[in-house]
Amino acid sequence: MNTPLNTIFSWFETGDFPTEAQFKATFLSFYHKDDIIPIKNIEGFEDLSHLFASAEDFKKHLKDPAAHSGYLALLNASNLTATHVDNWKSKLGISNVATIDSSGQPGNVYTKIQVDGFVNGLKDADKGFASEIEKIKKLLSSNDLSLDELQEIVNFIKNNRNDIEALKAISGESREDKVKLILDYNWLGSPKNQQEFNKQIYDKILLISQTPTSAVVQVTKSTTFPNPFETENVIIQARDSVTGKKINVDDYATNQIIEIRMFGEIDNPINILILKVKL
């Protein structure tokens, strides 16, 4: 029970003599230091308590590893994005440090094993080129009459283009059908007279002159495309289409297809030169 202050003040005015009951009523209106104040008697305390977490919730918060993952980096860095990592590298001054591939994070340099693999691939490619060059050298130094004859025909075509065109005119306009041939040229389809013979010779020379011996295919990545010469006897060379520098690639040819495999990333399209080799 409490007594209003104005009542207590009236008991202690000048000239008054407070009674024992008034003294008791006065002190009972206040809490003594040894007394515990009940929570229900503290005005607004319950509303204030709602601003704080309960002890149970606070303990759960302390044990939750992701409690502040939206604002703080976790110990295992699992909540860091690539942008976060780059920002940390920049802040710590290690953005130019060389790194290798790891789980989910590609590095910016190759490992020794990767470099050794590239080098071995280049060595194998060089061995393949050396083998092909050796074949060509042996072929050119051989006594292959068909090769010599083919080269002579090609040279003749280049140097005597006008004469060849004249041969066509002769084959179409001459009246030599009565001139019989003594020999049987079965490799020309057994012509019966000089006119047919001239036409067959012209067609053979024209076929040789029009048969391509090289081709260029431009690629931008490892790929497979049809073999334009339909023979596995080809030499393949790759060059950068912009700089003209030779590029080492892994190549494989059959009668039907040519397969090109790049050893790494390329900056520009690659021109693949294909040379047909007559064996």
| 171 & 226 share domain | no
Determine the Cα–Cα distance for residues 203 and 215; give it in Å rounded to an integer. 23
Asked if residue 201 belongs to a domain, the reply is yes
Q: Which residues of 177-188 are buried (b: 16+ CB within 10 A; e: fewer)?
A: eeeeeeeeeeee
Instruction: Output the pLDDT for position 181.
Output: 60
Tokens of 111: 């490992």
Last residue of a domain, one of 210, 240, 255: 210
Question: Is position 105 within any domain?
Answer: no
* pLDDT given at position 127: 72
What confidence score (pLDDT) does residue 135 get? 66
129 and 216 co-located in one domain = yes
Q: Mind listing the pLDDT tens digit of every residue in the chain (279 residues)? A: 688 988 988 998 888 889 999 889 888 888 888 888 887 777 777 777 677 777 787 788 778 877 777 778 887 888 888 888 888 888 888 777 777 777 767 777 777 787 788 777 777 776 776 676 666 656 555 555 445 555 565 566 666 666 555 555 554 554 444 556 666 767 667 777 767 777 777 676 666 555 667 889 999 999 999 998 888 888 899 999 888 888 899 999 999 999 999 998 888 999 999 888 765
Give the pLDDT of residue 251: 93
Alpha-carbon distance values, 268 to 91, 174, 265 (Å): 35, 56, 9
pLDDT computed for residue 133 by the predictor: 65
Residue 110 has a pLDDT of 75
Asked whether residue 91 is assigned to any structural domain, the reply reads no
127 & 264 share domain: yes
pLDDT score at 176:
45
What per-residue confidence (pLDDT) applies to 214? 81
Is 192 in a helix, a strand, or coil? coil
**Cα 184 → chain centroid:** 63
Give pLDDT, residue 225.
94
Q: Is residue 134 a part of any domain in this protein? A: yes
Q: What pLDDT score does 174 carry?
A: 47
251 and 271 co-located in one domain: yes
Q: Does the residue 222 lie in any domain? A: yes
Domains of the chain: total: 3
- Residue 195, number of CB atoms within 10 A of its CB: 19
Residues 128 and 253 in one domain: yes
- Asked if 22 and 152 sit in the same domain, the reply is no
The pLDDT assigned to 207 comes to: 61
Let me know whether 192 and 242 are in one domain: no
Q: Give the domain range for residue 147.
A: 143-210
Helix (H) or strand (E) holding 27: helix 20-28
Last residue of a domain, one of 154, 185, 210: 210
Query: Does 64 fall in a domain?
Result: no
Both 133 and 233 in one domain: the answer is yes
Report the pLDDT value the prediction gives residue 137, as an integer from 0 to 100: 59
Residues 130 and 237 in one domain: yes
pLDDT at residue 220 in the model: 92
Residues 223, 229, 230, 234, CA torsion sign: negative
Tell me, yes or no, whether 193 and 231 share the same domain. no
Residues β-bridged to residue 250: 261
Strand partners for 219: 270
Give me the DSSP letters along 140-183. HHS--HHHHHHHHHHHHHHH-HHHHHHHHHHHHH--GGG-B-SS
Is residue 39 domain-shared with residue 156, that is, in the same domain?
Answer: no
